[in-house]
Structure 1
Amino acid sequence: MSSVERTYRFSDTDLTQIVEEAAIYMCACPGQVASELRQLRDLIHYQQRCIHSGETSVRVHEIIEAASWQAHAHMEACLEDVLALEGWDRATLRMPEGLRQLRDELIDKGL
């Protein structure tokens, strides 16, 4: 299971763009999901290094890696759904104008 090549729905660059866009426009939820995906990728890569290092507990790392991949798949699907529901431009990963306007209105009201 550890040597299986997997593909991402969102590249690392995509995740960074979402985090930055969400931070600029004060829409934390998509950014939080993107940040969690980056953390899961770090965990997966760490487990892969452990597996390939020749440690005796390879099975432990395989189990963690497999669970991390499952969590990653769920969170990528979640992010895809959230971006679609909020109307983000999937090509540019820009937040929709309506959410930006809402943010501006909240700032103007001092909220």
Structure 2
Amino acid sequence: MFQKVKITSPQLTLTTCKKYKNLVKDQVPRRPEQLWVSDITYIKTQNGHNYLALVTDAYSKQIMGYKLDNHMRTSLCKDALAMAIKNRNALTKNSFIIPIEASRL
């Protein structure tokens, strides 16, 4: 049985962590690689915590990229995204990747 663990950090407070609005909540992808979603989770091991970043195609549910490491720095997500971009289908490689924040400009 798993034991619930409360993780607290003095560096992370409500003033330093901002929750952004989900801009793709009502979007339904109609083809592969139209919409990617990402997530980070931690995995408890005998040696502490490891962190897993995933980039998943929302249409096919295929894992496009991942990175497992013992830290949760920016490079964890950047490496998972780099793998996803490398694994793209040849037919869609000419498509553009537009970050959601940039698309609001």
TM > 0.5 fold call = no
TM-score normalised by L of structure 1: 0.30
Which of structures 1 and 2 has the larger relative contact order (alpha carbons within 8 angstroms, sep 6+)?
1
Q: Which has the higher helix share?
A: 1
TM-score normalised by L of structure 2: 0.31
